[in-house]
Amino acid sequence: MGTSTGGPRALQEVFSRIPEDISLPIFVVQHMPAGFTKAFAMRLNDHSKIKVKEAEDGESIEPNTGYVAPGDAHLSIHSKGGRKWIALSREGLVNGH
């Protein structure tokens, strides 16, 4: 899910309604400065039945988990040999972001 202005409140509402056994990961990209996304992920976690955290580079992707991209990174998903993981990049801006 990608959001900007109004996104934090909307995401809190969405995450409060996600069942604990969704069996899928959820990825969030919120237009937010670096340093704020970890606290935002913690707030979503407090209002969610699934685990929500700030994504980490190289982290294995788990079901029933929400991953919030850090404010200063691009998040991509990689897969090899049945393993799926998160890759974070701090390369240049894309379309101003």
**Which domains can be identified in the chain, with CATH numbers?**
2-89 (3.40.50.180)
Instruction: With H, G, I as helix, E, B as strand and everything else as coil, classify residue 15.
Output: helix
- Alpha-carbon distance 29 to 44, whole Å? 13
Cβ atoms of residues 11 and 31 within 8 Å:
no
User: In this predicted structure, what is the pLDDT of residue 93?
Assistant: 60
Task: Give pLDDT tens digits for 52-88.
Answer: 999 999 999 999 999 999 998 999 999 999 999 999 9
Label residue 91 by pLDDT band (50, 70, 90).
confident
pTM exceeding 0.85: yes
For residue range 16-53, list pLDDT tens digits in order: 999 999 999 999 999 898 899 999 999 999 999 999 99
Report H helices in 1-97.
Answer: 7-16, 37-46
pLDDT of residue 89 exceeding 80, the answer is yes
